[in-house]
Structure 1
Amino acid sequence: MTRVHTVEIHHRQTGKVYTVRVPEDRYILQSAENQGADLPFLCRNGACTACAVRVVSGELDQPEAMGLSPKLRDQGYALLCVSYPCSDLRVETQDEDEVYELQFGRYFGKGRVRFGLPLDDD
């Protein structure tokens, strides 16, 4: 029999808190939506950071989370669209731009670029 866990999701952008029950073999985002939660998402396949959360407590498994580096996963970030609960959880939504910057910021935003070449600031 599949175990079911309680997942508390704090949607920081709206201030709402959703408490849902999610089986270990179901994605958290889909289960939460089926229970009336209105949460951010885009791709639904773990390739973007729209549904990113930070785990406050508990454990989850996200084997298909291509949109998060191992470093961010180790820091407690997860993508709800491809996450399975392994215990009762408390998570909070993150700003997609902040997570994107944490993941890719070292590659982008290094000054103005024109046709692939940096511009002088003279």
Structure 2
Amino acid sequence: MKTSYTIKIHDRALGVEHTLEVERDRYILASAEDQGYKLPFLCRNGACTTCAVRVLSGEIYQPEAMGLSVELQRQGYALLCVSYPRSDLVVETQDEDEVYELQFGRYFGKGRVRVGLPLDED
């Protein structure tokens, strides 16, 4: 069994790709930071979607990713702050609003919240 893996992270916001080595027992985000890469994050606890990525190839293990539904995990989404590599990986950062909408959009019957619109008057 390999003890470290090559991770390629395509940062969509910046249009750059990072390649790093990550130990099997280390979180990907922490390893990236240790190697000088700056990636989006907020909570570091697997509770938000700021560090969300889409796994394009490879296998990831994320038992603490409470910020992503099992369905989104099955669709290939992962949270780098609480993810361990289980193979070489290629991942792509996601827009946080995009992932949040996928995660919680069905709960908002009227659609996305709109800022600055007047309230309906009865």
Instruction: Return the TM-score normalized by structure 1.
Output: 0.89
Distance 1:82 1:45 in 2: 7
Distance 1:90 1:61 in 2: 14
Could you say which residue in structure 2 is the equivalent of 1:22? 22
Q: Name the CA shift for 1:111/1:66 in 2 (closer, same or farther; >3 Å).
A: closer
% same residue: 73
Could you say which residue in structure 2 is the equivalent of 1:61? 61
Could you say which residue in structure 2 is the equivalent of 1:116? none
Kindly report structure 1 stretches of 4+ aligned residues shifted beyond 4 Å. Answer: 119-122
Distance 1:4 1:23 in 2: 4
The reply on whether 1:46 has 2:46 as its aligned counterpart is yes
Could you say which residue in structure 2 is the equivalent of 1:92? 92
SS of equivalent to 2:41: coil
Distance 1:80 1:121 in 2: 44
Structure 2 unaligned blocks of 5 or more: 113-118
Structure 1 unaligned blocks of 5 or more: 113-118
The reply on whether 1:33 has 2:29 as its aligned counterpart is no
Amino acid at match of 1:4: S
Distance 1:14 1:88 in 2: 22
Distance 1:16 1:104 in 2: 29
Distance 2:22 2:14 in 1: 22
* Aligned alpha-carbon RMSD (Å): 2.3
Aligned residues: 117
Kept in 2: contact 1:2–1:25 (CA 8 A): no
SS of equivalent to 2:33: helix
Distance 2:39 2:72 in 1: 21
Distance 2:89 2:2 in 1: 17
Q: Name the CA shift for 1:111/1:44 in 2 (closer, same or farther; >3 Å).
A: closer
